[in-house]
Structure formats: C-alpha cells, structure tokens
Structure 1
C-alpha cells in the first residue's frame, strides 16, 4: 500500500528532485506536538526548496509501488526502535526493497536503524553492541580515504577529521557488505559510517535530531525501564556540555543525496 505524497514545495517543475522517505518509526507525542512529526524533522534537515519528498510509513506496511520507484532520485531510511535483523514482515519486506533498489543503482541513505538495515540487506553483519547503549554526543573520526561522492568542495576536503554527532542505539554494524568501505568510526563503535561507492551511505548517528528530541527519547526509555535513571541523568549532563556538528553531517548527507 502506498501512502499519500507530501511536498516541501507545492509547485511541481520538470526539474524537481524527488525523494522517498522510508519511515521505520512511529511519531512520538512529543515530536508530533513540537515538530508535526518525524517527516518534518527529516525534510527540514535534508530537504531544499523545490523538491518533492514522499513519505512511506514502512513500519506500518506502506511501501512505494514497484512501478513508481524509478521516479525517485534517492531513498532515505529512518531510525527505528526495531532490530534491523529482526523477522517482522515489514523489516523483511524493507530488506527486499533495499536489495532491489541497490540492484537499480538508486541512491540509499540510512540513518541509525536505516544504516543497520542497509548493511544487513546488502550482505553485511549487524547485532547488539557488546558495550551496550550508546546515547549522547559521540566524537566520530572520518578516515582518510572517502568515496568521491561524499567529498566536499575538493577532492581531499575537510572530511579527514573529527565530527561529533548525536547517537542513540543499542545495535551496531559488525561487518560491512562486501563492496562496502568503513568511512568513519568512534571509540565505541567500529562502523559509524559506511559507504558503497557513491550510491549507498549509512550513518549510525542522527544528523537530523536536536538535543530536545534525544532527551525526550531518553526520558521515554527511562519510563519503560529500558535504561537506568542514573545513567540517563548522567548522559543528559554530558549532553548539556557538548555540541554535535550537525551542520557538517547534514552537509555530508545532502551532498550524497543531491551531488551538489
């Protein structure tokens, strides 16, 4: 079943780029009230004027029709509380779709769960992190050699450095797909970013999140006894003192999606 389309700009032109957002999480009450839903969070971060972004709630079984997928310039897979290696029907259908899209050489950007499910679908290995939850701001080191499609203004751009990012995950990529390259790592997570040439990009962190979104998720995890209250409070104290480099990570994502 296909969801209805949503536009960032109601005027359609022949030149407009078209993107599909594969939403793997349901909107929290906080995000609905504050931002109008995760769709707006993603499009505000990654979208530009004159583009069309269509929403498919894959967690609820809404997928793009096979006949329509050729119309999209790129696909973005969101985070999710579910396991990327789980056997839920929608996760398995998502993996099949990602395999098909990759065979069509469509651009695929995965965020958190999206990063993991891309890896899993394309032949890599994903599982629980031995070191447990990673929540807060994590400094990520980008390796020296980065696929051309991810580079900034020049061939050797500013990517060879450290960039903090907001994180909240319990699973991680253990091994990238055969064609994949590890693009970035951190002290806690060996594969923070992976890429396959210039068509697949997986990012473990959340460039699109703000601190208040992360704090609300932390509160909900405490409320359902998933994480300890003391751990949550300590995480929030650190979060207050460190800023993510959202501008950098959003630039990387948009550069990858749009080649601009």
Structure 2
C-alpha cells in the first residue's frame, strides 16, 4: 500500500540532522506495516497530480497556521476535498488535523488556552493516552459529519474521525523525546517558561505513541481505528 505524505512544513535546519524531516519520523512510526511512502513538500509548491497518486494520504505538522495566507493553502484544501471525495483514507497530524477540518467546513483558531507542549494526557473512549504535543492552534468547530474521538483539558477536539474517510489528531505521535528536546532547545522562545520547564521534566515519560501509530495503520488498511 502506497502512502502519500503531504508535508506543509519543514523541520528546522538546526534539528534536521538530529532527528530527520517530518516524513522520516512517520516512516519510523508506521514502519513494519508493509507501506511504501512518497513525499510531496506542498509547502514548496510540490503537489501530486491528484488523489490517485497514492492509496492513502497523510498530512504532517507545520509551523504555519491553517488560517494563514500562503499560496499553497488553498490548493492543499482542494486536494483534501478531492481525497475525501475519492474515498481514499486520509490521516492528519497537528497542522494536518487542522487543515483537514478547515477544508471540510470546520474552524481553526489560535486558542485562548495557550500553548500545549510535551507529553500530554488525552481522553479516548478506551482510556487515557499520553502523547507528545506542540501547538497553540486548535480545531474549535467540527466540520459536518465529524466525530470527536479524544479530548484533553485544554484541547476539546484533540482527535476527530470522519467515518470512512479520515482520522486526525492534534498531538504528535511521531515526536519522540529527542525531537521534543530539540524543540525546547531551539524553538521554544514563544512558549511560556513554566510550560517549557514542565515539558523538560517529562521527557522520559512513557508514551502511547505506538498505539496511535497502530490506529493510523489500521485506518489505512481497514478504514477503522479500533
């Protein structure tokens, strides 16, 4: 099964050589499932010809906001709608979670609840899952037909299921401790110091990232997360 990775952002240069780009991190998360991967860096205007270029699609994170004015945002939203209409399975993570919601009629905003960084607890129907996060923007209104699957104390719409079409999450199951450590070192200037301190102190916290990765693989292969 070929998974097309749509990359709306680039890992900062000072971190890239340590942990790899966004697509590499998803190769690790989804490894062992027999997937083949191809990446399109949509942030650079590199787009596939259409949904038929892959069997399933994944949109990664980005430092950009889904509501910002970039020349690649509208084409990416068009592609999301085309993938949705074609019935191809679609996964979105952080920015991917947000742009899919926005493209399908939801709303994305910079949250007045502030930043969420490092290991964070999310309430799923089958219990609490601890996953790394790094965001301030959130999906504040669900698109028609979307179902909330998980929430946290500060992020109501943390995981969204579009039955038979897409599954998206706000946190980053692909982020391991080494990447969060690098973000803290190089990219935490806008984050309030108490949140940085908390994240730094929780870097060794056991995570449920592999379980979320298993949900992604199951959704790609079977159209379900459980």
User: Do these two structures clear the TM 0.5 threshold for a shared fold by scoring above it?
Assistant: yes
- Could you tell me which residue of structure 2 aligns to residue 157 of structure 1? none
Alpha-carbon displacement from aligned partner over 1:59-91 (angstroms, at most 9, x marks no partner): 11100013xx31411100000010012221111
Give the alignment partner of residue 204 of structure 1, picking from 170, 177, 199: 170
> Per-residue deviation at 1:18?
0.8
Distance 1:18 1:187, change over 3 A: same
Q: Post-superposition shift, 1:31? A: 4.2
Quickly say closer, same or farther: Cα 1:228–1:212, change in 2 above 3 A.
Answer: same
Contact 1:173–1:191, Cα closer than 8 Å, also in 2? yes
Unmatched 5+ stretches in structure 2:
none
The within-5 A match list for 1:73-222 is 73-143=55-125, 160-222=126-188
In structure 2, how many angstroms separate the alpha carbons of the residues matched to 1:108 and 1:50?
Answer: 17
How big is the alpha-carbon RMSD for the aligned residues of Structure 1 and Structure 2? 1.8
The equivalent residue for 2:36 is 52
**Number of residues of Structure 1 aligned to a counterpart in Structure 2:** 223
Larger radius of gyration: 1
1:236 to 183, 200, 205: 200
Q: What SS does the corresponding residue of 1:240 show, helix, strand or coil?
A: coil
Q: CA deviation at 1:213?
A: 0.4
2:107–2:139 Cα contact (<8 Å) kept: yes
* Equivalent in 210, 221, 224 of residue 247 of structure 1: 210
Q: TM-score, normalised by structure 1?
A: 0.80
Distance in 1 between the 2:187 and 2:16 partners?
18
- Residue deviations 1:85-141, cap 9 Å, x none? 222111121111101111111111000000000000000111011110011111111
Give the C-alpha shift of residue 49 in structure 1.
6.0
Distance 1:30 1:258, change over 3 A: farther
Task: Report the secondary structure of 2:78's partner residue.
Answer: helix
Q: Distance in 2 between matches of 1:136 and 1:193?
A: 17
Residues 206-241 of structure 1 show CA distances to partners (whole Å, capped at 9, x for unaligned) of 11110110121122223xx3224454223211x135
Name the SS of the counterpart of 2:113 in structure 1. Answer: coil
The SS at the match of 1:232 is helix
**Offset of residue 51 of structure 1:** 2.9
Unmatched 5+ stretches in structure 1: 1-16, 144-159
